[in-house]
Amino acid sequence: MTTPFFPPPGPATFALVDANNFYVSCERVFAPRLRDRPVVVLSNNDGCCVARSEEAKALGITMGQPFFAVRALLEQHQGVALSSNYTLYADMSRRLMTLIGQYSPEQEIYSIDESFLRFSGCDHWDLTQRGRELRARVLQGLGLPVGVGLGATKTLAKLANRLAKQHPDFRGEGVCNLQELTPAQQAGYFAGLAVEAVWGIGRQWSARLQQQGLATVAHLMRADVPTIQRQFSVVLAKTVMELNGISCLPLEEAPPPRQQIIASRSFGQVVTTFDLLSEAVASHTARAAVKLRKEGLQAGLIQVFIATNPFKPEAPQYHPGATVPLSIPTADTTRLLRAARVGLRHIYREGYEYKKAGVILLDLAPVGAVTGDLFAPPQRATSARQAQLLAVMDDINRRWGRGTVRYLAEGLAQPWQMRRGRMTPRYTTCWDELPQAGG
């Protein structure tokens, strides 16, 4: 048994470490031709730009911009657009998080490319220097550039990370430690930061805050907390306190139990018939069920939704959803497929051009933790044979790739599948796709 780690009481410093342009940086590690030129990584269906190299940002390409709108510009500057290669990014992320975790026993993995660390009882350490070391280590070990922000709360660490990446005073080192600045120095930087630079403040709230004359971080910091809570919400009130160094958001070292599992996709082409929609819904359901079993969970409820294309407002719009309770909580794909089909029958209408479909699994609980309903008529639980079959299918698909064995309900030709024409190899997880050196 390992000795549990008890953080010493008292004030702590939080660090936020995140990779610069993570998806693009992952691609560049294995393809030197991508260096020093504009590169974007596209969302599913090759739809939007979700990651941009510095050169692409300099061309004015924004986050989430549709690819078709920037395609010509990119070509004009010898730029490259890639489909997203999540297998590669997930594997690089795993390695990145392992390395970062070596710098503190208290780590929260916040997203695919971001991690918080907490340093408590480390007053004698030069954390800025530790940050520099971490950065050099990740660059050497993985080839990924990261930024490090340090502050008294998670929100301040995020803000420091922003300064580390963008402000000329810190950009060179890629590390910003707010803890070693005087209040006057901090105030100077905060007066130069727009309020939407703060973690948790998006477009809507930023517009409302500006109307009230709270345009910069320095303004927001001095706002009256009860007023903010009344006019916005308790979430924003906590943000204001965090900006003042009062820690309200704890480090979440273990991920909180999951509330839902979503599987959805836009179609590569428009779908109108029930049968094709049903194939797509079945395929999403099977994918969600695999995730469910992988995490040892059961679902009590499945939601099905379909939608027309919101970017074609001249066409008739329709985006219904249906909720179908499972008679007993299950992780059995067969049962989920049946329930999803019932839901789809309820909401399908002819005469619409559908662009997207998906399912959401809800009421999740660990297998074995579900209490039976004493008064409900007895239900046949998933048999041992069925459970074995599912386990074998999952195993085959894990080993030989997703979709090697699948349900006929998912269709064979699958004309609705997403476009994905610009994929790079899965360099680190697939023997057939290892990077090659030389000729």
Partner DNA sequence: TCTGGGGTCCTAGGACCC
Comparison of 120 and 205: residue with beta carbon closer to DNA: 205
Among 154, 358, 410, 427, binds DNA (CB under 7 A): 358
Among 263, 306, 331, 337, binds DNA (CB under 7 A): 263
User: Which CB sits closer to DNA, 120 or 147?
Assistant: 147
Alpha-helix residue ranges (DSSP H) falling in 77-115: 86-101
Question: How far apart are alpha carbons 394 and 407 in whole angstroms?
Answer: 12
**Which stretch of DSSP H or E encloses residue 360?**
strand 354-362
CA distance 432 to 165: 37
Residue with Cβ nearer DNA (291 or 422)? 291
Query: Is residue 112 a contact point for DNA (CB under 7 A)?
Result: yes
Name the residue nearer to DNA (CB basis): 191 or 234: 234
Among residues 52, 49, 28, the alpha carbon closest in space to that of 38 is found at 52
Residues 301-330 within binding reach of DNA (CB under 7 A): 309, 311-312, 321, 323
Total residues contacting DNA by CB under 7 A comes to 48
Task: Work out the number of other CB atoms within 10 angstroms of the CB of residue 425.
Answer: 17
For every residue of 335-359, DSSP letters joined together read HHHHHHHHHHHHH--TT--EEEEEE
Question: Mask 157-196, x = binds DNA (CB under 7 A)?
Answer: -x--------------------------------------
* SS3 of residue 61 by DSSP: coil
Query: Which residues pair with residue 216 across a beta bridge?
Result: 194
* Residue range at the interface with DNA (CB under 7 A); choices 101-109, 116-124, 262-270, 424-432: 262-270
Kindly state whether residue 97 participates in binding DNA, applying the rule CB under 7 A.
no
- Distance between CA atoms of residues 334 and 339, nearest Å: 9
Q: Please give the structure tokens belonging to residue 219.
A: 């303004």
Question: Which of 57, 199, 215, 347 touches DNA (CB under 7 A)?
Answer: 199
| Residue 76 interacting with DNA (CB under 7 A) | no
User: Which range binds DNA by CB under 7 A, 140-148, 233-241, 383-391, 402-410?
Assistant: 233-241
Count CA within 13 A, CB hemisphere, residue 276: 17
Nearer to DNA, 120 or 160 (CB): 160
First to last CA, the chain: 50
Residues that bind DNA (CB under 7 A): 43-45, 47-48, 50, 63-64, 66-68, 110-114, 158, 199-206, 233-235, 256, 258-266, 291, 309, 311-312, 321, 323, 355-356, 358, 418
